[in-house]
Chains A and B, each alone.
Chain A
Amino acid sequence: MKYRLKIEKRMEGFTGNVVLARIIAIVAAIILTVIVLMIAGFEIAKIPRVFEKLFIDTLFTAKGLEKTIVKTIPLIFCALGVAIAFRMKLWNIGGEGQFAMGAFASAGVAMAFPNMAAFPLILLMLVAGMLAGIIWAGIAGITKSLLGVNETIVTLMLNYIALLWLQFLIIGPWKDPLQKGFPMAPIISENGWLPSFGESNIHIGIIIAIVIAVIYYFVLNKSKWGYEVRAIGDGPKAAKYAGMNVKLNVILVMTVSGALIGLGGAIEISGLSHRLEPDISGGYGFTAVIIAWLAKLSPTAIIIMSVFMAALAVGGKTMGVLQLPAAISAVIQGIILFCVLAFDFLTKYSIKFARKETV
């Protein structure tokens, strides 16, 4: 008698232990990471140091935590923004572009009205950022709704336009003459700076992000409009049968998605960088897609996953100390994502041992 693994589909509605699947995924990810490090010729004895740098230093030391939280803020905005679009099965992968345009608009406002009082200026900057995000995502929403153009392609392409636009501004018209040869935009007036907590870099953007996550939850799960979004996402035919305006909602959802991401861009300018930088979006728009997906679009999970991804990014930058490239954190990010998705099948299938007939 030989034994053979048998993979069997679980009955509809009976999912396996999700927590257990996640734990297995993380253990597998750690093992795989160790293997990758060993292949790269890294000393085995130093491997625990890698994990320490990535997770302990970034989450359990004051300085590390500060950096992590600062990086978490834009991620939450972007992830909430793409999540609401994903909820209606609109694949907005243009977070980068919408974030960049939001940053551009708020920096522009701050540069145009440097002498305005702090409160109205900040408010104006945030509104400008949201509007810019709305326009950038709205283009995809309108073409999708009226002409049936694939929103994935449009949002992706608009990223490149936005990023090159920032490049152009910084090298050209917005170049700060005080920086001599360096292509940099000027620092905005201090009236446009979002308040920070004490001496730290953590600004009140974190509070705005959490408040928006709470609003996101209530709007999506308790309001009539949220109900429409969920119904259209899960059953477009049923939504029409319920008399919902699907075309209008496609535009609306892209608008809200763009507004959230654009707001994130504005807050990044106002709260942290204080000047337009060419790589202001820093990959947040794409990382947000991963976060929204891993979090299964739940706002609580989005916050947790944003912290996690921010920690990986912050920790990754310190890899040089261990003579490792910063790219190692991207590798680990990839491995974790891969493992979580791969082990998700455990919730849909069960594995059994079956006796194999000897013929």
Chain B
Amino acid sequence: MPQAVVQMKNITKTFPGTLANDDVSLTLKQGEIHALLGENGAGKSTLMNVLVGLYKQDSGEILINGEVKNFVSPKDAIASGIGMIHQHFKLINAFTVTENVLLGDKGSLFISKKKMQTSVAKLANEFGLDVDVSAYISQISVGEQQRVEILKSLHKNANILILDEPTAVLTPQEADALFETLRDMTNKGCTIVIISHKLDEIVAIADTVTVLQKGRVAGVAKGKDINQSNLSRLMIGDDIVLNTTPQESNIGKTLLDVKNVCARNDKGLQGLCDVSFEIHEGEILGVAGVAGNGQKELGEVLCGLRTATKGSICLSDKDVTKCTVRSKLDSGLAYVPEDRLGTGLIGNMNSIDNSILRSYYTHKGVFIDYKRATSDVIDAIAEYDVLMADPKAPVRLMSGGNMQKLLLSREIALSPKVLVLSYPVRGLDIGAMEKIYSLMLEQREKGCAILFISEDLDALIKFSDRIMVLHGGSVSGIINREDAKIEELGLMMGGNKEGAS
């Protein structure tokens, strides 16, 4: 029987107005991968922040290796061997990997660069973490940066590692590599906690799963009890794992016709290269590809935020290639951008102000008709199940799912002919995902032409009529849903042209 390295007993933590953790208990055993599962706002991060000493619990106690501990700061937690890897890495871009790992060390006045590098390389080797220790952070990939974060914790002798949504920023291949590393580490005696809401990866990797729901433990699953339907039932109370299915649609005339479009990316290099496709009335064209292969540029070129250097874009037979954002809006092109907070919504503004972002200029006269805007928002809240305390509160306080519902409701209110959705469910929990997908299908039935950019191949195959694969800014191929297989899509995402297998 492995030893319990961490016991959190009856932890309760309240914030004014919210009970973030209510009598939560959690036991971590030596050498296991323990998943902490729950929807957004279920209290996962709060619980871990209590464990690492960022928050102080109101009641309850924490035992590390059987001893009661009271962490006052993350320093105390690290001293007890607990390290946390946050979703957003805390690395210094202008420093090398070695310098980042050793940051905060108390050493002698002068340090030998060579010695430092050897010691960090040795540590990386020991745990099978493949990184170039002399490279600058700005030069390495996101996957490598994550390994540097893990190295930082290991260097501080952490043997209990908490990873907050570790795969959110990784490609499927990088995620697989991470899981192998984590498994390796547990074999060497480390204990790992993964905070996640992706069911499939939890099923693949976790030894034990603790499911949180509204701040309470909804259940603990072990061994063969760890399966998708069991976990999702614990997470939201009943079995509704994406049971939205598209109806047979009536595909009509061409609404969006894109021909040989080229565009530059933010670095001024070729971001899109000779992209051609068309979308018809009532059709969803899925866009697959590893993130950063032209999806962002494609969305921005279509909505007018980026100019096409070559090619043409026709929207229901009207050439809109050179049109501004606003005239594209007026011709019926709606866009849900990839970063919903920043481009899609303004965090400091309230829901009412955000709801008029794309239509305020149509209000008559000099002033904005706030009476109408407010009642529209109240209607949208009811119609789209947006949960919010107060439409006058800044939207940055809303959960990701509610933000996205608000954003999508705003774009749908424009009654678009063409709807471009860029990663519409990224980071959302199942309930919100379901809602967003059903809204997308509803628009398709209304005859909207939809461009659906996603990283979730299952969802792409399920909802798209056709799937276009992007690689390096150009189209690897467009295949019909009936012919789409994950393996083939995977190859095309890697740059293989259609049929060239």
- Spell out A's residues near B (CB within 8 Å): 4, 6, 8-14, 222-225, 227, 230-231, 234-235, 237-238, 240-243, 352, 354-357
A222 touches B370 (CB 8 A): yes
Closest to B348 in A: A234
Using Cβ atoms and an 8 Å threshold, which residues of chain B touch A13? 393-394, 397
B187 within 8 A of A: no
Listed from nearest, the 9 A-B pairs whose CB atoms lie closest are A243-B326, A235-B346, A243-B325, A13-B397, A11-B15, A234-B348, A237-B343, A242-B357, A14-B16
Using Cβ atoms and an 8 Å threshold, which residues of chain B touch A230? 349, 353
B346 touches A231 (CB 8 A): yes
B324 touches A14 (CB 8 A): no
A227 touches B360 (CB 8 A): yes
Task: Looking at the assembled complex, report how far the CB atom of A162 sits from the nearest CB atom of chain B, in whole angstroms.
Answer: 33
- CA–CA, A3 to B16, complex, Å? 24
- CA–CA, A242 to B349, complex, Å? 14
Select the residue from A223, A238, A242 with max chain B CB neighbours within 10 A: A238
B17 touches A14 (CB 8 A): yes
Task: Looking at the assembled complex, report how far the CB atom of B413 sits from the nearest CB atom of chain A, in whole angstroms.
Answer: 14
B262 within 8 A of A: no
B342 touches A238 (CB 8 A): yes
Using Cβ atoms and an 8 Å threshold, which residues of chain A touch B339? 237
B109 within 8 A of A: no
- CA–CA, A242 to B367, complex, Å? 17
Could you list some 21 contacts between A and B, CB below 8 A? A6-B56, A8-B54, A8-B55, A9-B54, A11-B18, A13-B393, A13-B394, A222-B368, A223-B368, A224-B368, A227-B360, A227-B368, A230-B349, A230-B353, A235-B347, A240-B305, A241-B305, A243-B361, A352-B56, A354-B70, A357-B69
Using Cβ atoms and an 8 Å threshold, which residues of chain B touch A12? 396-397
B103 within 8 A of A: no
Task: Looking at the assembled complex, report how far the CB atom of A3 sits from the nearest CB atom of chain B, in whole angstroms.
Answer: 10
Chain B interface helix/strand/loop/mixed: loop
Q: In chain B between 344 and 377, which residues have their CB closer than 8 angstroms to a CB of chain A? A: 344-349, 353, 356-358, 360-361, 363, 366-368, 370
B329 within 8 A of A: yes
Given contact pairs A12-B397, A241-B303, A354-B56, A234 touches B360 in the complex (Cβ within 8 A): no
- CA–CA, A9 to B73, complex, Å? 12
Using Cβ atoms and an 8 Å threshold, which residues of chain B touch A240? 305, 325
B180 within 8 A of A: no
A224 touches B349 (CB 8 A): no
- CA–CA, A69 to B394, complex, Å? 36
B337 within 8 A of A: yes
- CA–CA, A241 to B302, complex, Å? 12
Closest to B357 in A: A242
Given contact pairs A12-B397, A242-B358, A352-B56, A6 touches B72 in the complex (Cβ within 8 A): yes
- CA–CA, A222 to B342, complex, Å? 23
Using Cβ atoms and an 8 Å threshold, which residues of chain A touch B396? 12
Using Cβ atoms and an 8 Å threshold, which residues of chain A touch B17? 14
Instruction: Choose among A8, A14, A234 the residue that contacts B346 (Cβ–Cβ < 8 A).
Output: A234
B76 within 8 A of A: yes
Using Cβ atoms and an 8 Å threshold, which residues of chain B touch A242? 325, 357-358, 360
Using Cβ atoms and an 8 Å threshold, which residues of chain B touch A234? 346-349
Using Cβ atoms and an 8 Å threshold, which residues of chain B touch A237? 339, 342-343
Closest to B345 in A: A238
B72 touches A238 (CB 8 A): no
Using Cβ atoms and an 8 Å threshold, which residues of chain B touch A354? 56, 70, 72
- CA–CA, A238 to B76, complex, Å? 41
Using Cβ atoms and an 8 Å threshold, which residues of chain B touch A355? 70
Using Cβ atoms and an 8 Å threshold, which residues of chain A touch B344? 238, 241
- CA–CA, A225 to B346, complex, Å? 17
- CA–CA, A14 to B56, complex, Å? 17
> A8-B56, A241-B325, A243-B304 provided; 6 other pairs, C-beta below 8 A?
A11-B20, A223-B367, A224-B361, A243-B325, A357-B69, A357-B76
Number of interface residues of B (CB under 8 A): 46
Residue interface bits B438-477, CB-to-A below 8 A is 1, else 0 = 0000000000000000000000000000000000000000
Q: In chain B between 321 and 339, which residues have their CB closer than 8 angstroms to a CB of chain A? A: 324-326, 329, 335, 337, 339
B366 touches A224 (CB 8 A): yes
Using Cβ atoms and an 8 Å threshold, which residues of chain A touch B343? 235, 237-238, 241
- CA–CA, A138 to B501, complex, Å? 62
Task: Looking at the assembled complex, report how far the CB atom of B336 sits from the nearest CB atom of chain A, in whole angstroms.
Answer: 10
A224 touches B360 (CB 8 A): yes
Using Cβ atoms and an 8 Å threshold, which residues of chain B touch A223? 366-368
- CA–CA, A222 to B356, complex, Å? 13
- CA–CA, A352 to B70, complex, Å? 14
- CA–CA, A11 to B15, complex, Å? 7
Instruction: Choose among B70, B337, B370 the residue that contacts A357 (Cβ–Cβ < 8 A).
Output: B70
Task: Looking at the assembled complex, report how far the CB atom of A246 sits from the nearest CB atom of chain B, in whole angstroms.
Answer: 11
- CA–CA, A124 to B69, complex, Å? 75
Closest to B340 in A: A238
Residue interface bits B62-91, CB-to-A below 8 A is 1, else 0 = 000000011011001000000000000000
Closest to B396 in A: A12
Closest to A355 in B: B70
Task: Looking at the assembled complex, report how far the CB atom of B476 sits from the nearest CB atom of chain A, in whole angstroms.
Answer: 28
B329 touches A243 (CB 8 A): yes
- CA–CA, A334 to B15, complex, Å? 35
Task: Looking at the assembled complex, report how far the CB atom of A47 sits from the nearest CB atom of chain B, in whole angstroms.
Answer: 39
Using Cβ atoms and an 8 Å threshold, which residues of chain B touch A9? 54
Using Cβ atoms and an 8 Å threshold, which residues of chain A touch B366? 223-225
Task: Looking at the assembled complex, report how far the CB atom of A67 sits from the nearest CB atom of chain B, in whole angstroms.
Answer: 39
- CA–CA, A11 to B361, complex, Å? 35
Using Cβ atoms and an 8 Å threshold, which residues of chain B touch A357? 69-70, 72, 76
Instruction: Choose among B54, B329, B346 the residue that contacts A238 (Cβ–Cβ < 8 A).
Output: B346
- CA–CA, A222 to B337, complex, Å? 27
B357 touches A238 (CB 8 A): yes
Closest to B324 in A: A243
- CA–CA, A222 to B360, complex, Å? 11
Using Cβ atoms and an 8 Å threshold, which residues of chain A touch B356? 227
- CA–CA, A300 to B393, complex, Å? 21
- CA–CA, A224 to B364, complex, Å? 10
- CA–CA, A11 to B337, complex, Å? 27
A235 touches B349 (CB 8 A): yes
- CA–CA, A11 to B18, complex, Å? 10
Using Cβ atoms and an 8 Å threshold, which residues of chain A touch B326? 243
Task: Looking at the assembled complex, report how far the CB atom of B62 sits from the nearest CB atom of chain A, in whole angstroms.
Answer: 11
Task: Looking at the assembled complex, report how far the CB atom of B324 sits from the nearest CB atom of chain A, in whole angstroms.
Answer: 6
- CA–CA, A284 to B370, complex, Å? 36
Task: Looking at the assembled complex, report how far the CB atom of A305 sits from the nearest CB atom of chain B, in whole angstroms.
Answer: 22
Select the residue from B70, B339, B346, B367 with max chain A CB neighbours within 10 A: B346
Closest to B362 in A: A224
Task: Looking at the assembled complex, report how far the CB atom of B21 sits from the nearest CB atom of chain A, in whole angstroms.
Answer: 12
Closest to A235 in B: B346
Task: Looking at the assembled complex, report how far the CB atom of B393 sits from the nearest CB atom of chain A, in whole angstroms.
Answer: 7
Task: Looking at the assembled complex, report how far the CB atom of A158 sits from the nearest CB atom of chain B, in whole angstroms.
Answer: 30
Q: In chain B between 4 and 29, which residues have their CB closer than 8 angstroms to a CB of chain A? A: 15-18, 20
Using Cβ atoms and an 8 Å threshold, which residues of chain A touch B18? 11
B353 touches A241 (CB 8 A): no
Task: Looking at the assembled complex, report how far the CB atom of A201 sits from the nearest CB atom of chain B, in whole angstroms.
Answer: 37
Using Cβ atoms and an 8 Å threshold, which residues of chain A touch B305? 240-241
Instruction: Choose among B69, B72, B337, B360 the residue that contacts A241 (Cβ–Cβ < 8 A).
Output: B337
Task: Looking at the assembled complex, report how far the CB atom of A115 sits from the nearest CB atom of chain B, in whole angstroms.
Answer: 39
Using Cβ atoms and an 8 Å threshold, which residues of chain A touch B361? 224, 243
Using Cβ atoms and an 8 Å threshold, which residues of chain A touch B56? 6, 8, 352, 354
Select the residue from B20, B69, B76, B368 with max chain A CB neighbours within 10 A: B368
